[in-house]
Structure 1
């Protein structure tokens, strides 16, 4: 309860909080919403909470203002000090400090307008981020196969794009991605349409984003950051064709290619089929002329080579004769070689028969018997001689009888006998050595060894002769085949087999006069066309000059 005081005329005494509360309630009731015009001043960087604090002033007063974070997030521009703006606000009293202020719910620049200012600020920010850089723009194919059209379902711009593209380049496949191009939800629909175009199968070569002209407010979706981001992130090239020539949107700057109008876009992104047909015809004619010229040169060269080269049949006949001659020579050489080998074999056989082991063994036995007979005779003769000496010496001993002479004579006799034995043993050893030499010589001269060596040599000579004959025949065959292929390559008959023909006019010669130019013939004349399997006789009905 409050008591009265003499300070006022029976007014109740209020506390500061109560007064501020009543004033706050009064402002809510009397000033629920107000629109105020003023110049922004004292604007600082957003606080930690994201709120903006500033004042609006005119030439006489200042109004403290606060704009909470939820309201600043909806602004399409950034206010600056000195900017003249219109604001929609609630008047309140900040009770803790008793400070009168306006809580701003919406702000719009005065004069240029919020859309224009938002456009310029977004344009500057995206340029700083590099979204407008030329190096990131994707090139357009010269001859597209599939094009996506992102536009309104039944707009005039859509119809112009379809009609002009089909008129110029009817072979292209056009697919419409319908979307709203105006209104509050248009920017979201356009973003979705661009994303859908990137996911289409088959993937379009590029997409044309188009609509007709309109006011800055009508073109607002194309000035939104959402649409700009969708164009920037698109994997396929985006062509912008929005409004008229004087209309520039953020989408135009971000797009990979900008056309002034929808009709201009159709002309700039597709080739003219009539012009392509004309260029193609020119190239065909040029290629035809080159082909005719080249074929004419080849034909002249072929004729020159035909005159320079001899007749292939004659060359083949000569080569066949050479091969027959070589075969005859090979046969003769083989026959002579075999005959020589047989002769040599007969000689060796005769020589082997002459040194037959039977004859040699008989000869060796005879020589051995003779040696043994001589040895026996010699031994017998020596023994008889020694016996005679012994007998003689015994007679002498018997007559003389001295004991000492007997011992001397005995020793002498024994020595003589031992010497004879050693001599006989030595002669027997020499005879055995000679016999061993004779046996070794007979073994080396054995006919089995001689025959085996001669047979091996004969087989080796026969094998070498056969290999030489096979190699010579193979080389001759390869040489003949190679020469035949070379001759066939440059043969006029081979040229005719590849589809060429030779034109001639009949005369007294076998093949007639060759037609090299249209000046060589006249209408009504008879010409012969020689092809690979015959001659076609025809009459010239008309001559056309290329």
Structure 2
């Protein structure tokens, strides 16, 4: 080789260069761990999960093959802060490198705290914490949904407090993991399930007991915050202890320092309600008695008042007047009846006088020819049969 060849750069093909890069990267970046925020997470039909791990200045394509996926049993959502472990692999046809992930764990406390502050600031700017979106809690909830671990102490604290404080409520538990990489997706599904139910509960409590920042991190995930924000049911966030604050505390309609306090915040005390009802009953009874006594006194005063006496006198005078009118009416009715009876008697007498049978009753007879009475001799026809009528019968004469 000539001396000039030592200073002349070698010309490589794309394949050769890519192969050299592949050997360099894959040989030096094995079994590494990378910390960052998950974005664009998706799982294909074949079971492979593809996502991007990013920070402020760079991003790294990642893939979890289906076999590893089944072993890890993780479900990634956008916004999660994780530490992904695996090997760098170069894919020559695309000229890209990616991380073949074999392990997933929650990010460290430093990165989580930084991510918490950034997400809190961004969601606050979007208005997710504004009071205008806060729904009022119902005064007397009878169906209460709880999203937490079915085996954790938080649910038992909530249930025991509700049974003691407000036993009229029915508690509906929806189990969800409350820590680890699977927790955020399960919390989102549970919130959406309650929000979309055909027979929704009156109130929803989402929470868990205390723990480290890593343990509580699912309640700081953006996906959980947005699920709480779009939830149609009033929500209470009850995460950790009094000193713990999570993103869900700012987004939910109310924040409780502990799960036990959430149960207290969600419901009235039945003993206080009973005492209040008894007090109202006593006050109502007293008010009714006082009102009745006042009305009785008012009536007594009216009875003794000059106005009522005047009314009584007026009623008495009207009664006497009515009595006099009744007597006059009765007298007029009697006089009218006598007059009518006399008129009837006169009419009867006149009818008796005009009765055509009256002469027969006195012994006279009556002659009739051709159905006509013969009143004169001149009217009598000797050749025509005649009928002679007496009081007790009649006889035909002159007939052959």
Query: In structure 2, do the counterparts of structure 1 residues 67 and 153 end up closer, same or farther at CA, with 3 Å as the change threshold?
Result: closer
Between 1:281-290 and 1:228-237, the stretch displaced more is 281-290
Greater per-residue helix proportion: 1
Conserved? CA contact 1:27–1:92, under 8 Å = no
Aligned counterparts, 1:215-364, within 5 A: 215-308=212-305, 309=308, 319-329=318-328
Could you give the per-residue CA deviations for residues 100-140 of structure 1, whole angstroms, max 9, x where no partner exists? x997889x999863322222222222111111101110001
Contact kept? 2:154, 2:259, Cα under 8 Å: yes
The correspondence of residues 145-156 of structure 1 with structure 2, limited to 5 A, is 145-156=142-153
Deviation track 1:496-537 (CA, whole Å, cap 9, x = no partner) reads: xxxxxxxxxxxxxxxxxxxxxxxxxxxxxxxxxxxxxxxxxx
Counterparts of 1:86 and 1:199, CA distance in 2? 34
Q: CA deviation at 1:261?
A: 0.3
Query: Residue 68 of structure 1: CA displacement?
Result: 5.0
How far does residue 212 in structure 1 lie from its aligned partner after superposition? 0.9
- Higher fraction of strand: 2
Output one character per residue of 1:409-462: Cα deviation in whole Å (capped at 9) or x when no partner.
xxxxxxxxxxxxxxxxxxxxxxxxxxxxxxxxxxxxxxxxxxxxxxxxxxxxxx
**C-alpha separation in 2, matches of 1:274 and 1:77:** 44
Aligned to 1:16: 12
1:128-527 counterparts in 2 under 5 A?
128-200=125-197, 202-308=199-305, 309=308, 319-329=318-328
Q: CA deviation at 1:324?
A: 3.1
Whether the 8 Å contact between 2:26 and 2:89 is mirrored in structure 1 is no
Tell me the CA shift for residue 249 of structure 1.
1.3
> Radius of gyration: which is bigger?
1
Task: Assess if the C-alpha contact under 8 Å between 1:77 and 1:121 holds in 2.
Answer: no
User: How far apart are 1:278 and its partner, in Å?
Assistant: 2.4
C-alpha contact (below 8 Å) 1:169/1:271 kept by paired residues: yes
How far 1:176 moved relative to its partner?
A: 1.8
**Contact 2:22 2:89 survives alignment (8 Å):** no
The count of corresponding residues between Structure 1 and Structure 2 is 304
Residue 28 of structure 1 and its aligned partner are, at CA, apart by 4.3
Unaligned runs of 5+ in 2: 35-51, 65-75, 337-400
TM superposition score normalised by structure 1: 0.46
Report the Cα distance in structure 2 between the residues aligned to 1:290 and 1:89, rounded to whole angstroms.
82
TM-score (structure 2 length as normaliser): 0.60
Asked if the contact 1:77/1:118 (under 8 Å) is kept, the reply is no
8 Å CA contact 2:145–2:174 kept in 1: the answer is yes
Residue aligned with 2:288, SS: helix
- Structure 1 residue ranges without an equivalent (≥5): 38-50, 57-64, 79-84, 95-100, 338-546
- CA root-mean-square deviation: 5.0
Once residues 131 and 207 of structure 1 are traced to their aligned partners in structure 2, the CA distance between those partners, rounded to angstroms, is: 18
What SS is found at the alignment partner of 2:296? helix
Tell me the SS of whatever aligns to 1:144: coil
**C-alpha deviation, 1:325, in angstroms:** 2.0
1 or 2 for the larger relative contact order (CA 8 Å, sep ≥6)? 2
Question: Is this contact kept in 1: 2:165–2:268, CA < 8 A?
Answer: yes
**In the aligned structure 1, how far is the partner of 2:246 from the partner of 2:132?**
20
